[in-house]
Amino acid sequence: MGKRNQQRRAEKRRQRQRQGRSGSGSSSRIAGGWARPPSVEEALEAAVEANWHEDPGLEMVLAFLGDMATVPGGARVGVVVSGRLQRAVRGCWARGWQPADLAGVVGRKLGAAHRGLCIEVIAAEAGAYVGVAVAPDPGWLSQLDELGASGSAGTPFQAGGRLDVSGPLLRRSVELIGMLEHAPALPQLGPSPSEWGCTPRRSSGGCSSPQEARLLARVRALLTKAESTHFPEEAEALTAKAQELMARHAIDRAAVEGGGQPTVEGRRLRVEDPYAQAKAILLQTVAEANRCRSVWSQDMGFCTVFGAPDELRITDLLYTSLLTQATTAMVAAGSRGRQARLPSFRNSFVVAFAHRVGERLRQAVGAEVDAGTARHGKRLLPVLARRVQAVDEAVDAAFPGMTERVLRTSNGFGWAAGRAAADLADLAVGERLGKPA
């Protein structure tokens, strides 16, 4: 459980204690019973409220709902619970959440079992629009595919006809409803399913053409080989070739767009513990080198990255690959002795790796722009500058109250080892950008 979540729960306990001394609060209302037999909806509402406020009366309400599920017509309990779960998911879409965000945060805060239930609900809810919508967002559909939630004819409670009151499913459902209904609003990164009946305002991550899809597949294959090889020189060459292909594509596309209004998209990338802040710095470094910007939401466990669509994809792919390479190098360094396995060493290692990669990326970017200018003329530079300005405006609009944090390191051994590992992840592509693939 995160520190902020622990603080929130502690404050709720203090509030319940104050309510108990004053003779009020939801606990006393539940313990007093209802004036008449409640409906399934009323009992479920009481359970959700009791769970959210950590009311001990929750056990009584859950038992009551379980009893309701065993009598004739008890299958309605599952229908009502499932319906409320799906409404809660739709409410999250309206507040800017996307499928991968929701599954990731639920798993982070509630655990794997709740994440599995959340994916089942997302799949059931997706059945209303997958294959039916006029203008679906390809990025959204891709997230559903990755989660295995592309649409389901049933609900989590219809397989057996009745709610399984013998297991923890009812409690898990109540806990999930509470979290979903209290999820905060996030910046809107793309059209939600309710907007798919019209032309999408912007995509949230899909490829714009079959040619780009083939390019991305080739880049992924190169980076996969770079991550798996045991030879640093080969990893350098493969990573550099992947960067070369995507950077050339981005520069050529920017030149074609010319004076048009730059398109800025956003996507959220998971940044998990351990060493989440150090990993966020690595992502920020890669993003800035590719004219993108990254904002870390620590409590949510993700970074929101804004940029032009092609440069955003470069950032995503390159960060994922470099993180794998950094992790592999860090684990290998751990075999050198006990100090190399200390948390301070590993944190310093990742931060130093990020800083050194940033230095090398900035060198590479200068060479890329020079090569692009040679191909397209000086008209390219104003286009790139407008892209950067558009990204800054998008970040300021989405996160008006953003603050910057400084991460300090304390292990010089880890810092030196991280920089050395980053030297092996050579990204300088230089003159190769101007050569045919």
Name 430's Cβ contacts closer than 8 Å, sequence gap at least 6: 364, 367
| DSSP string of 268-329, one letter each residue | EEE--SSSHHHHHHHHHHHHHHTT-EEEEEGGGTEEEEEE-HHHHHHHHHHHHHHHHHHHHH
The CA distance from 181 to 79, in Å, is 18
27's enclosing H/E stretch is: helix 26-31
Name 152's Cβ contacts closer than 8 Å, sequence gap at least 6: 120, 123, 124, 126, 127
Residue 38 sits at φ, ψ, to 5 deg, of -75, 155
The CA distance from 303 to 253, in Å, is 26
Helix, strand, coil shares of the chain, percent, nearest 5, are: 65, 5, 30
Picking from 252, 254, 247, 243, the residue whose alpha carbon sits closest to that of residue 384 is 254
pLDDT number for residue 92: 96
Name 360's Cβ contacts closer than 8 Å, sequence gap at least 6: 422, 423, 425, 426, 427, 428
The CA distance from 118 to 107, in Å, is 9
For tokens 């079959």, the residue is 210
pLDDT number for residue 310: 82
DSSP at 266: E
Picking from 185, 193, 173, 408, the residue whose alpha carbon sits closest to that of residue 304 is 185
Q: Hey, what's the torsion of the CAs at 16, 19, 20, 26, to 10 degrees?
A: -70
The CA distance from 376 to 384, in Å, is 12
- Whether the Cβ atoms of residue 421 and residue 333 lie closer than 8 Å to each other: yes
The CA distance from 437 to 433, in Å, is 9
Name 133's Cβ contacts closer than 8 Å, sequence gap at least 6: 193, 196, 197
Please state whether beta strands 293-297 and 302-307 pair in parallel, antiparallel, or not at all (unpaired).
antiparallel
DSSP at 430: G
**CA 82 to chain centroid:** 25
The amino acid at 421: A
pLDDT number for residue 405: 59
pLDDT number for residue 428: 37
Picking from 274, 278, 322, the residue whose alpha carbon sits closest to that of residue 421 is 322
Please state whether beta strands 265-270 and 293-297 pair in parallel, antiparallel, or not at all (unpaired).
unpaired
pLDDT number for residue 152: 56
Q: Mean pLDDT, 10 residues at a time, over the chain (437 residues)?
A: 56 51 41 71 93 90 86 82 93 94 93 93 87 80 86 52 64 95 92 74 55 76 78 70 73 72 87 86 89 90 90 86 81 66 77 80 75 80 84 90 58 47 45 35
- What is the pTM (predicted TM-score) of this model? 0.72
For tokens 């030297």, the residue is 423
DSSP at 259: T
